[in-house]
């Protein structure tokens, strides 16, 4: 029977294959072969948290009933409506203040919204991949935006605070810079209703949207 001699190169390959077979593990070291020897190099991971508040937020809502009008940046609530005349809300944050390099990644990220006017309907949250501004966005303008086909999160429009996991969206934004916040839409069938969410201009600070990002680089 032929014996296999374990060389440093073969050992490195075996360790690599074994590591790839494991999931859900965070690695802080790497292996390599140099000058015929096996070496392990340590890798320092820097973790941080960046909180986004109304000071870095832009939001608005668009109205099917007024397709060429903009709600602007002055509304104290964002309207999300179903029925014959729908309203969609838009929320985004400027992550530039977090000073994140493209080598960083999102460990976790949560978007928090506060429902001031409740409804029994489900609100779906979709990532937006093209630029918009609360000063100019209208219902007709939404057709020109690139919006994800699959909702990142959903929540029932009950009164109070809702914390939504948006980690995958924010991680992609850090690495590719392709995220322009989220569209909030009521897709529930069965009658018209309106859910209102506190905006960045709401008089009650606790009712304004916020986002928390935990990252590593």
For the chain, the domains span 8-44, 48-216
Q: 186: closest CA among 61, 69, 28?
A: 61
**137 vs 103, residue with greater confidence:** 137
- pLDDT, mean of residues 115-136: 96
Partnered with residue 125 across adjacent β-strands are 153, 184
pTM of the model: 0.79
Residue 161 to residue 168: CA distance in whole angstroms: 21
Q: How high is the pLDDT of residue 27?
A: 41
Partnered with residue 117 across adjacent β-strands are 196
Q: Diameter of the chain by CA atoms?
A: 81
pLDDT tens digit sequence for 7-48: 544 434 443 334 333 333 344 444 444 555 555 555 556 788
Core vs surface per residue 117-139: b (16+ CB within 10 A) or e: eebebbbbbbbbbeebebeebbb
Q: How high is the pLDDT of residue 101?
A: 74
> Which residue in the block uniquely carries the two structure tokens 């916020």?
210
**Strand bridging mode 153-156 / 122-127:** antiparallel
Class of domain 48-216 (CATH, top level): mainly beta
């Amino acid at each position: 029977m032929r014996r296999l001699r374990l060389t440093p190169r073969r050992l490195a390959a075996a360790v690599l294959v074994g590591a790839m077979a494991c999931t859900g593990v965070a690695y802080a070291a790497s292996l390599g072969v140099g000058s015929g020897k096996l070496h392990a190099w340590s890798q320092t991971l820097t973790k941080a948290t960046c909180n986004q508040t109304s000071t870095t937020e832009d939001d608005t809502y668009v109205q099917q009933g007024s397709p060429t009008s903009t709600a602007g940046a002055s509304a104290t609530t964002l309207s999300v409506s179903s029925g014959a005349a729908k309203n969609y809300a838009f929320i985004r944050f400027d992550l530039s203040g977090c000073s994140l390099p493209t080598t960083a990644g999102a460990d976790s990220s949560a978007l928090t919204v506060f429902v001031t006017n409740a409804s029994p309907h489900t609100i779906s949250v979709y990532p937006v991949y093209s630029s918009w501004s609360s000063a100019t966005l209208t219902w007709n303008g939404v057709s020109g935006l690139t919006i994800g086909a699959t909702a990142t999160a959903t929540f029932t429009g009950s009164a109070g605070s809702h914390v939504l996991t948006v980690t995958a969206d924010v991680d992609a934004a850090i690495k590719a810079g392709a995220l322009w916040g989220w569209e909030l839409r009521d897709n529930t069938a069965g009658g018209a209703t309106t859910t209102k969410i506190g905006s960045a201009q709401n008089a009650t600070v606790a009712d304004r949207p916020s986002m928390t990002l935990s990252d590593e680089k």
